[in-house]
Structure 1
Amino acid sequence: MNKTKRSIFEAAIKVISQSGYNGATMDDIAISAGVAKGTLYYHFKSKEEIFKYVISEGVNVLIEEMNDVTQQESNPIDKLMALCKSQLRMVYRNKDLFKVIMSQLWGEELRQQELREIIKLYIMQIERYLKEAMEAGLLKKGETTFMAYTFFGALCSGAVYEIINEDQKEIDEIIENITTYILKGIQA
């Protein structure tokens, strides 16, 4: 990503997270990016195109980081733990991107449907690690697709908890609690 596109990417995340998709304007994004409106339109023809770029690049970064940290582990449970830690830390570092993604998951607009498809690719990566753990006998057998969505939901819940209570708990404590609850349950 070149310097100008990086500026637009970061500005779009900031503006959309603050104003919402409908409230964000091309003018606001250009001003925040420090570029002329013509430069913005040179790179992106519409706010919709910017949004798609932000989401696809943002989720690609999540998937790349997930792959990097999980490749360092051989045990499938350790891969899942590393995935949790990595993703929650990334959300912590990129709260505005997380807000943009979460705010646009629902709805029937084309951008929202496309976002769900991109998130689905991410969840399929989680499912792959769950299958590995099941095949290794480290997790009980179950419906891996639903488990992957549940796992993703728990990560999102942990991120929301961290955003709301950011000064009350250390991120490592939150990560430890989430991974324990996901992998070992909450039953006594």
Structure 2
Amino acid sequence: MVRMTGTKRAILDAALEIAAERGISGTTMDDVAERAGVAKGSLYYNFASKDKLFEGLLGEGMAALTEVLREARTGVEGWSAIEALVTTLLGSIARNTALAKIIAGDIFRTDRAWREASFTFRHDALAEFEVAITEALPEASAVGASALMASSVFGATLMAGLEWLLFDEERPQAEVVAAVLCTFSGRLVPATH
């Protein structure tokens, strides 16, 4: 993915910073223009509305995430692919905590103008997990559970990553990866008597 520069990049970066601090609802176009150091006309020239601004921001972030997840899964299969995806997702969260906070805060909002675009990007990222889960556990796909399992692994990793970075940032990433993977390893299932 080509990185954009100039005014558009400054606007997206400012929107990301403010929304990570205040949430999308608490972010105004005036605040974005001020933080980006651009005139309001320039802001509206690049993004016709706040909805278009956040659709672009989330779309760019999810597309980049999907690409790194795809790369992480390349050349590995099954449980190794799941481990690579969890590790990569946690690394992405660490590199861009602000975007992760916005995604986590907005993922279940159904009233957003960018809901359809967000669903598409989210689906693409989850598909990488679904492929790995299907390889590791073919019977999950046979009963239609692999998509739900992919969502579970992605969601748990996203929330564990935010928990780690916001409340336990001194913990090494490898320990967070191990904890997430342990959660899905089956070791939490009680022994049957």
TM-score by length of 1: 0.87
Structure 1 runs (4+) deviating above 3 angstroms are 139-142
Superimposed CA distance per residue, residues 58-114 of structure 1 (whole angstroms, 9 cap, x where no aligned partner): 00111011111211x333221111110110111111111111111112333133633
Number of aligned positions between the proteins: 185
Identity %: 26
**Alpha-carbon spacing, 1:149–1:111, altered in 2? closer, same or farther (3 Å):** same
Q: Is the 8 A contact 1:12 1:29 kept in 2?
A: yes
Unaligned runs of 5+ residues in structure 1 are none
**Bigger RCO of structures 1 and 2 (CA < 8 A, at least 6 apart):** 2
How far, CA to CA, are the matches of 1:98 and 1:151 in structure 2?
15
More helix by share: 1
Instruction: Tell me if 1:50 matches 2:36.
Output: no
- Check 1:10–1:185 CA distance in 2 against 1; reply closer, same or farther (3 A cut): farther
1:46 and 1:112 mapped to 2: Cα distance?
11
Deviates more, 1:17-26 or 1:55-64: 17-26
Question: CA separation of 1:147/1:133 partners in 2, compared to 1, >3 Å: closer, same or farther?
Answer: same
Whether contact under 8 Å (2:17, 2:98) holds in the other structure is: yes
- Comparing 51-60 with 99-108, greater Cα deviation is found at 99-108
Are 1:178 and 2:171 matched, yes or no? no
Q: For residue 76 of structure 1, what is the aligned residue in structure 2?
A: 78
Give 1:87's aligned residue.
Answer: 89
Q: Letter of the 1:158 partner, please give it.
A: A
Structure 1 position 50, deviation (Å):
0.4
